[in-house]
Structures are given as structure tokens and as C-alpha cells.
Structure 1
Amino acid sequence: MKPIAVWGLLVLIPLNLLAAEPAPARQQELIHLLKQDCGSCHGLTLKGGLGPALLPNDLQAKPVDFLAATILDGRPGSAMPPWRGMVNEDEARWLVQRLREGIR
């Protein structure tokens, strides 16, 4: 395969997949945040409560950047608080990917 063709294929990779992955210990902290803090409003099984469901089928149609921005900046006029300061942009995208995959 020619080098130009390889670079052409790389352009097809969504930029959100290139985000840095948190260290394993931080991943555990983020999963705990999802289960405890997010679960307090979205339901402990993330099927919804005060906030909407965060299950894979509920999130697939929503853009990653929109969901990450919601995590970071909250939703003005709603009970959704901003988490910027607790998580950075890469971590917010990582959380969205875990939610889309279904966390365990």
C-alpha cells in the first residue's frame, strides 16, 4: 500500500477515537463517578430517573461531542450540573464511549 493511501485512510478515523485514554487507575475513578454520581440522577442502572436514561441505545444517535459537552458544561435550565474541573475533555469523551458500550 502506498504511503499516500495510508494517510488517506487515517483521515477516515473519527477524531474522537484518537483521544487519549485515561490511565487504568483514573478509568476506575471515572467508572465510579458514572455509577455513583451520574447514577444518583440517571438511576443506579442508568435507565433514567431525574435525568434521562444513559443506556447504549439511548445514546447512539447523539454525537459524541454533544454528549461530552453536556458532561463538561451541564445543561442550563435543568438539573444537569457541569463536571468540568472533575473531568477533562478526553475523559468526558471516554465516558461517552463507555456509556455507548454499556458499562459493567
Structure 2
Amino acid sequence: MGADAVTALARGVALGMLLAATAAVAAEPPPTRRAELARLLHDDCGACHGMTLQGGLGSPLTAAALAGKPRDGLVATVLQGRPGTAMPPWQPFMTQDEALWLIERLQAGQAPAVPGR
């Protein structure tokens, strides 16, 4: 393999890695939808995970509790629920990108606030 081919291959690999890293970050929902997702998180998720998300029937949704957990797995849990447990599927109420956006906020310790509360 010549030097040009190696350089082209290296650029292709670098571009692929950049695109994969970019795809892992959720797009910011519009402000109205962010408010709806914040209400869903605090009212519906909070009913089991605690109103302050510190835990209850469900496990805590704090940055410390979610640290090191793979985002893909957490998104799958949010969207598909956990059969045999109290965790319901939320896919009828949010998209994969919206679930990822919430998970990213929670893992960063920045749970979206409900406007007016």
C-alpha cells in the first residue's frame, strides 16, 4: 500500500471516528419540547425515581448513580422499559434522540428544570 493510500485510509478512519463521536451527542430539542420533557422527567419518572430523582421505588437518576453506565443501554431502558419490573416503556412519549438528550443531562448532573417551578 502506497503512502497516498495510507493517508487516505487514515483520513477516512479519522472522519468516521469524528462522525461517530458527533452522533453520540443528542440534538437539543426546541424549548417547548424541552419543557415537556422536563415535566415528564420530574412528574412521571419522579413518581418512581423520587421527586428529586434521588431514588424511591426506582433507582436514583443522579449523575453519580448513572456514572459509567452506557448511554445506549440507558436509552434502551427508557424507551423499552424493563419487563417484569415497574419500569414502563416511554417510547410512545419520546423519541430516541429525546431519551438520549435526557440521559446526557442526567449523567452530567444537569436535569432539566420544569419552567415555573
TM-score by length of 1: 0.86
In 1: Cα distance, 2:83 partner to 2:63 partner: 24
Matched, 1:10 2:18: yes
Give the equivalent residue in structure 2 for 1:78: 85
| Unaligned segments of structure 2, at least 5 residues | 1-10
After superposing on structure 2, the runs of 4+ consecutive aligned residues of structure 1 that deviate more than 4 Å are none
Task: Map 1:24-103 onto structure 2 (within 5 A).
Answer: 24-102=31-109, 103=111
Deviations 1:6-58 (A, max 9, x none): 736625625321x3321111011101111100000000011100000000011
- The CA RMSD over aligned residues, in Å, is 2.1
Cα distance 1:74–1:46, how it changes in 2: closer, same or farther (>3 A)? Answer: same
* Identity across the alignment (%): 50
Q: Which structure: larger Rg? A: 2
**Counterpart AA for 1:54:** L
Q: Secondary structure at the match of 2:24?
A: helix
Q: In the alignment, which residue of structure 1 is the partner of 2:4?
A: none
CA distance in 1, matches of 2:17, 2:106: 27
- Which whole-Å CA distance do the structure 1 matches of 2:16 and 2:83 have between them? 40
For structure 1, list consecutive stretches of 5 or more residues without a partner in the other structure.
none
What TM-score, normalized by structure 2, do the two folds share?
0.77
